[in-house]
Structure formats: structure tokens, C-alpha cells
């Protein structure tokens, strides 16, 4: 195992750290739950919707990543963020 600076120099100066994995982790912890809270009315609906949003965003994001050669984690997070749109529309409609 080489020290980090030597490994970075050998890899062309591109160092990857824990910050590169923060986007998918944050996205899958927060976005499906937030979308479900905006759409669901009962607690069991929120739990069910959150799991459904997370699974579908993983599957659709993986497919989009494969189909258009995009980064997998970012694709999944973008799809998870798209599930916020119906809830935000509902929230705007109710407050109107």
C-alpha cells in the first residue's frame, strides 16, 4: 500500500476521498423520505412511498446510467429528486 500522495501522483493527480460518495448517500437518505412526506397522508403511506421511491429511483437511475453512459450515483439521485416534483406541486396547490 502506497502513501496517499504517491498514489495520487501515480494516478495522474486525481484523488478521490469520502466527499465523492456523499451525494448518493445523502440522496438516498433524504430525498425518498422527503418526497413521501410531501405526498403521503398517513405514516404507513409515508413508509411505503419512501421505500417505493427509493427502489424505483435506484432502478430507473441505474437504467439511465447504463443507457446514456452517465455516472450511476448521480443518475439515481437525480431520479430520486424528480420524485419531489409531485409533492411540491401538491404543496403549492394546497397553499394556494
| Whether the model pTM is above 0.85 | no
Query: Rounded to whole angstroms, how far apart are CA atoms 59 and 56?
Result: 5
**pLDDT for the residue numbered 63:** 97
Neighbouring CB atoms inside 10 A of 74's CB total: 15
Neighbouring CB atoms inside 10 A of 58's CB total: 18
pLDDT in tens, 17-37: 555 667 788 888 999 999 999
Return the closest-CA partner of residue 71 out of 35, 11, 24, 13: 24
pLDDT in tens, 49-66: 999 999 999 999 999 999
Neighbouring CB atoms inside 10 A of 34's CB total: 18
**pLDDT for the residue numbered 4:** 52
pLDDT in tens, 65-96: 999 999 998 899 999 999 999 999 988 998 88
Amino acid at each position: 500500500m502506497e502513501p496517499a500522495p504517491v498514489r495520487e501522483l501515480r494516478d495522474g493527480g486525481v484523488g478521490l476521498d469520502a466527499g465523492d460518495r456523499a451525494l448518493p448517500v445523502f440522496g438516498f437518505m433524504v430525498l425518498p423520505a422527503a418526497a413521501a412526506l410531501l405526498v403521503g397522508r398517513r405514516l404507513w403511506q409515508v413508509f411505503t412511498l419512501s421505500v417505493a421511491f427509493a427502489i424505483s429511483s435506484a432502478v430507473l437511475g441505474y437504467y439511465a446510467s447504463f443507457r446514456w453512459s452517465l455516472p450511476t450515483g448521480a443518475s439515481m439521485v437525480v431520479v430520486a429528486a424528480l420524485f419531489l416534483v409531485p409533492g411540491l406541486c401538491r404543496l403549492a396547490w394546497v397553499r394556494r
